[in-house]
């Protein structure tokens, strides 16, 4: 009978291993910013998934922050202060992100953090940073609850004073997509799928609400397991539901195969998603099936903004191996907002960093206002970006192309 | 429109993949009573072996029909070498040790192999696209079958038939059966048990490699983590079918795949259960089935009572 107990032990171990593989630390890559000559060193922390499924987006964030720090150093933008970055990898895991937050808080030179990418990771980091009065600016978190509290639909309450973001929220992104799908693309029957994560489920919910309000019909809903890659059963359901469009709340590692398998099942209908699928890797994973799929993303396309020309040119000149991806411009602006805040604090204190620099930077951040890569950068009373620009993209000839850019109005 | 035929085909395909990997678990367990948790990783390195052949050894633009046999060969070679290496250097030194020692070694080896591929294979930090077979889908009796799935549909039964022939009819196969029944007596009767154990590992690796290539063709992508979840599912399939029984592994795999698929497709239609019907709940239903089977048939679907061997 020992074998049977062995199997039981093994099964228990296996379940433990399932959760454990998510952890484990990896080498920290401190980035490559030059340390300048003398003066104070201020470290800008970066937290993003630098490895794993979402690394394409994460590395774009890290490089863009690095570029902002280098630019500030080159221009001697803040007299007597040299900026450095410390980039930590959260692998898209909330638990790892929280450990990283603790680590960044422990480093006294860190006066601001850019990141993270995932709303669920952001949720886990907020409190750690807020207790330490360390400012956090996310270029990519879009879940409304992060700035407006969990009951944001009824009563907006800002949970953490130290949290800001340059990205627009899903409270705007979901409805914006719904309006485009219903009014412009003329699709009336939607099948809604999400991955049950903070970002995906939130986005799918705001989309569904607006789509129904406009008069559209939800012919089916489904929640997928992000660990899975066989969506054939779901794809068959989509096909038989008679939907003429699929909305997916989630990220590209699942969206790519999902789109491919839905088309393979015989439903030749577009998949629409949020900024989480707006990545070149989505097209790589979906293959030819991705053609015609749509994504909304925050802001206007960086390539087309006159304010972004310099960023695009500098990024290219710096010779980063990875593309800046969807959040490059926002990451640069997030980092630059921290630099602006530090500048204000230093100038108010006769060119030196005060002892309570972190708290002062948080206060200064609230009033930051400058012309950034993505347009005017400033924050409202919740810490949300005042810039509410969004754009619809679609896959054409193996690349994302702009379809429509606009500002969402109620 | 009736979606049942399509969902059954979906489940059959998923289950065949589980079954191919489950054979490796069940064979090694049957002979040395070791649950080789690194077996999912053998599946993963097989897929990477095939991709390596495609990317680095064959000229660009080689037809998939020429490339596929060579990729399969590459996958088998890599998987078998890793499996034999694991047996020789990780498990054999622990042959007389308490059961838990090789088990923990297997989990450690699994993590080590994953991280090795993550660290050393070019660009393996994100998902890698796998070559695809061109051609449209085929429609058979209300179900659509993709070109990439054809390989799996052919490979799984052929592998199974080959294995059955090998174990039942050849001298080495009978040696395996003898070793499984009683290693000490088999040794006394002149069976080279060390060799038999190596062959069991190698054979399991061959099927895992076939599964790895099938997975790449089916999903169009591979990554360093692909073996972990699949390995757990395959282990579940092996237990469900009756661990130690090679037919049980295949049956268990198919049952598991079909149950997961049907749970996704139909549970939500049962009144009151609509919250538990989505794909994210499919595994829960699969494990409920496993618990039920083990309650009423602890030896698994096709397993035999092995209480005397412990």
Q: How far off is chain A from B11, nearest CA to CA, in Å?
A: 8
> Which candidate from A230, A260, A265 shows the least CB-CB separation from B14?
A230
| pTM, rounded to two decimals | 0.80
The closest of B100, B303, B39 to A5, measured between CA atoms, is B100
Q: Which residue of B264, B295, B297 to mutate against A (max A Cβ within 10 Å)?
A: B264
Nearest-by-CA chain B residue for A25: B115
Tell me if A264 and B144 make a contact (CB, 8 A cut-off): yes
Quick check: is A1 in a domain? no
Can you give the pLDDT at residue A1?
Answer: 46
> What was the ipTM of the complex prediction?
0.82
Quick check: is A237 in a domain? yes
Quick check: is A142 in a domain? yes
Same domain, A58 and A99: yes
Same domain, A285 and A396: yes
Can you give the pLDDT at residue B276?
Answer: 83
Tell me if A223 and B220 make a contact (CB, 8 A cut-off): no
Residue stretches of chain A with pLDDT short of 70 = 1-38, 409-410
Encode pLDDT of B52-85 as tens digits: 999 999 888 888 889 999 999 999 999 999 999 9
Q: Is B13 on the interface with A (CB under 8 A)?
A: yes
Question: Who contacts A211 (Cβ-Cβ below 8 Å, separation ≥6)?
Answer: A178, A181, A182, A190, A218, A247
At A293, which CATH number? Answer: 3.40.50.2300
Question: What mean pLDDT comes out for the span B260-273?
Answer: 87
Which chain B residues have a beta carbon less than 8 Å from that of A239?
A: 3
Q: How far off is chain A from B206, nearest CA to CA, in Å?
A: 23
- The tally of domains found in chain A comes to 2
Same domain, A106 and A210: no
Tell me if A233 and B111 make a contact (CB, 8 A cut-off): no
pLDDT of B309 strictly over 80: no
Which chain B residues have a beta carbon less than 8 Å from that of A2?
A: 99, 310
Residue A24's region, left for phi above 0, alpha for psi from -120 to 50, else beta, is left
> Which candidate from B118, B264, B281 shows the least CB-CB separation from A234?
B264
Same domain, A399 and A278: yes
Q: Is B37 on the interface with A (CB under 8 A)?
A: yes
pLDDT of B114 strictly over 90: yes
Same domain, A119 and A186: no
Tell me if B309 and A264 make a contact (CB, 8 A cut-off): no
> Which candidate from B6, B99, B132 shows the least CB-CB separation from A6?
B99
Question: What is the DSSP annotation of B115-127?
Answer: HHHHHHSTTTTS-
Q: How far off is chain B from A80, nearest CA to CA, in Å?
A: 39
Same domain, A178 and A136: no
Q: How far off is chain A from B85, nearest CA to CA, in Å?
A: 23
- Indicate the SS3 state at residue B272: coil
Can you give the pLDDT at residue A26?
Answer: 40
Can you give the pLDDT at residue A10?
Answer: 63
Question: What mean pLDDT comes out for the span B258-282?
Answer: 86
Quick check: is A361 in a domain? yes
Give the helix/strand (H/E) hosting B138. Answer: strand B138-140
Quick check: is A4 in a domain? no
Distances (CA, A) of A299 to A176, A325, A386, A407, B77: 12, 13, 11, 9, 50
Distances (CA, A) of B236 to A250, B14, B296, B300, B303: 28, 14, 16, 10, 14
Q: Is B99 on the interface with A (CB under 8 A)?
A: yes
Which chain B residues have a beta carbon less than 8 Å from that of A53?
A: 126-127, 223
Tell me if B280 and A225 make a contact (CB, 8 A cut-off): yes
Q: Is B140 on the interface with A (CB under 8 A)?
A: no
In the block, tokens 């909330």 appear at: A94
Quick check: is A20 in a domain? no
Structure-token pair, residue A364: 């200064």
Same domain, A279 and A402: yes
Q: Which residue of B17, B32, B127, B214 to mutate against A (max A Cβ within 10 Å)?
A: B127
Same domain, A287 and A310: no
If you count residue pairs, one on A and one on B, with CB atoms under 8 Å apart, how many are there?
Answer: 123
Tell me if A285 and B221 make a contact (CB, 8 A cut-off): yes
Same domain, A374 and A395: no
Same domain, A132 and A271: no
Nearest-by-CA chain A residue for B218: A230
> Which candidate from A4, A14, A224 shows the least CB-CB separation from B279?
A224
Same domain, A401 and A336: no
Average pLDDT, rounded, for chain B:
90
pLDDT of B92 strictly over 70: yes
Q: Is B111 on the interface with A (CB under 8 A)?
A: yes
What's chain A look like in SS3? CHHHHHHHHHHHHHHHHHHHCCCCCCCCECCCCCCCCCCEEEEEEEEECCCCCCHHHHHHHHHHHHHHHHHHHHCCCCCCEEEEEEEEECCCCHHHHHHHHHHHHHCCCEEEEECCCCHHHHHHHHHHHHHCCCEEEECCCCCCHHHHCCCCCCCCCCCCCCEEECCCCHHHHHHHHHHHHHHHCCCCEEEEEECCCHHHHHHHHHHHHHHHHHCCEEEEEEECCCCCCCCHHHHHHHHHHCCCEEEEECCHHHHHHHHHHHHHCCCCCCEEECHHHCCHHHHHHHHHHHCCCEEEEECCCHHHCHHHHHHHHHHHHHCCCCCCCCCHHHHHHHHHHHHHHHHHHHHHCCCCCCCCHHHHHHHHHHCCEEEECCEEEEECCCCCECCCEEEEEEEECCEEEEEEEEECCC
Encode pLDDT of B143-192 as tens digits: 888 888 999 999 999 999 999 999 999 999 999 989 988 888 999 999 99
Tell me if B279 and A223 make a contact (CB, 8 A cut-off): yes
Q: Which residue of A197, A233, A248, A286 to mutate against B (max B Cβ within 10 Å)?
A: A233
Quick check: is A12 in a domain? no
Same domain, A143 and A191: no
The closest of A281, A237, A233, A236 to A255, measured between CA atoms, is A281
| Residues β-bridged to residue B222 | B128
Quick check: is A35 in a domain? no
Domain span at A76: 40-168+305-379
Can you give the pLDDT at residue A51?
Answer: 86
């Amino acid at each position: 009978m020992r074998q049977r107990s062995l199997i039981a032990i093994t099964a228990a171990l296996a379940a433990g291993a399932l959760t454990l593989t998510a952890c484990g630390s990896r080498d920290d890559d401190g980035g490559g910013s030059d340390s300048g000559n003398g003066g104070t060193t201020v470290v800008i922390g970066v937290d993003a998934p630098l490895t794993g499924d979402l690394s394409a987006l994460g590395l774009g964030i890290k490089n863009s922050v690095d570029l902002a720090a280098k630019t500030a150093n080159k221009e001697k933008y803040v007299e007597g202060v040299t900026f450095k970055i410390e980039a930590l990898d959260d692998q898209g895991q909330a638990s790892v992100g929280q450990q990283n937050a603790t680590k960044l808080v422990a480093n006294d030179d860190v006066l601001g953090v850019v990141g993270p990418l995932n709303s669920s990771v952001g949720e886990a980091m907020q409190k750690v940073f807020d207790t330490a009065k360390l400012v956090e600016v996310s270029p990519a978190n879009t879940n409304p609850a992060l700035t407006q509290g969990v009951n944001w639909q009824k009563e907006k309450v800002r949970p953490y004073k130290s949290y800001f973001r340059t990205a627009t929220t899903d409270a705007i992104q979901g409805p914006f997509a719904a309006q485009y799908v219903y009014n412009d693309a003329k699709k009336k029957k939607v099948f809604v799928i999400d991955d049950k994560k903070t970002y995906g489920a939130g986005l799918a919910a705001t989309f569904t609400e607006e789509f129904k309000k406009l008069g559209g019909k939800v012919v089916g809903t489904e929640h997928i397991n992000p660990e899975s890659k066989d969506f054939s059963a779901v794809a068959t359901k989509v096909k038989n539901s008679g939907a003429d469009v699929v909305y997916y709340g989630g990220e590209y590692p699942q969206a790519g195969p999902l789109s491919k398998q839905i088309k393979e099942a015989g439903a030749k209908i577009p998949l629409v998603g949020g900024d989480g699928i707006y990545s070149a890797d989505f097209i790589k994973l979906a293959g030819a099936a991705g053609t015609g799929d749509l994504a909304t993303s925050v802001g206007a396309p960086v390539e087309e903004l006159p304010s972004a020309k310099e960023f695009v040119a500098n990024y290219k000149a710096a010779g980063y191996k990875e593309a800046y991806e969807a959040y490059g411009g926002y990451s640069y602006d997030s980092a630059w907002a921290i630099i602006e805040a530090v500048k204000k604090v230093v100038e108010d204190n006769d060119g030196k960093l005060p002892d309570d620099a972190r708290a002062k930077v948080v206060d200064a951040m609230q009033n930051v206002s400058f012309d950034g890569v993505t347009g005017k950068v400033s924050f409202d009373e919740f810490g949300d970006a005042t810039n509410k620009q969004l754009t619809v993209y679609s896959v054409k000839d193996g690349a994302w192309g702009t379809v429509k850019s606009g500002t969402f109005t109620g | 429109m009736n979606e049942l035929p399509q969902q059954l085909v979906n489940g059959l395909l998923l289950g065949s993949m589980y079954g191919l990997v489950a054979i490796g678990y069940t064979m090694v367990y049957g002979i040395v009573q070791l649950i080789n948790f690194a077996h999912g990783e053998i599946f993963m390195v097989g897929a990477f072996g095939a991709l390596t052949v495609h990317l680095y050894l064959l000229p660009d633009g080689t037809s998939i029909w020429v490339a596929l046999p060579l990729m399969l060969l590459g996958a088998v070679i890599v998987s078998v070498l890793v499996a034999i290496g694991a047996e020789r250097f990780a498990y054999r030194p622990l042959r007389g040790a308490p059961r838990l020692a090789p088990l923990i070694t297997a989990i450690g080896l699994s993590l080590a192999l994953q991280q090795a591929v993550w660290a050393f294979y070019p660009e393996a930090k994100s998902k890698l696209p796998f070559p695809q077979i061109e051609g449209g889908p085929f429609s058979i009796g209300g179900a659509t079958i993709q070109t990439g799935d054809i390989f799996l549909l052919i490979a799984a039964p052929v592998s199974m038939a080959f294995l059955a022939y090998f174990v039942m009819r050849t001298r080495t196969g009978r040696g395996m059966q003898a070793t499984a029944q009683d290693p000490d007596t088999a040794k006394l009767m002149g069976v080279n048990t060390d060799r038999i154990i190596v062959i069991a590992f190698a054979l399991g690796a061959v099927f895992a490699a076939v599964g790895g290539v099938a997975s790449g063709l089916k999903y169009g992508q591979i990554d360093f983590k692909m073996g972990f979840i699949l390995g757990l599912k395959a282990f579940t399939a092996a237990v469900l079918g009756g661990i130690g029984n090679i037919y049980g592994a295949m049956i268990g795999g198919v049952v598991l795949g079909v149950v997961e698929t049907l749970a996704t497709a139909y549970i939500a239609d049962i009144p009151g259960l609509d919250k538990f019907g989505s794909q994210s709940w499919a595994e829960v239903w699969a494990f409920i089935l496993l618990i039920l089977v083990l309650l009423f048939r602890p030896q698994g679907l096709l397993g035999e009572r092995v209480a005397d061997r412990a």
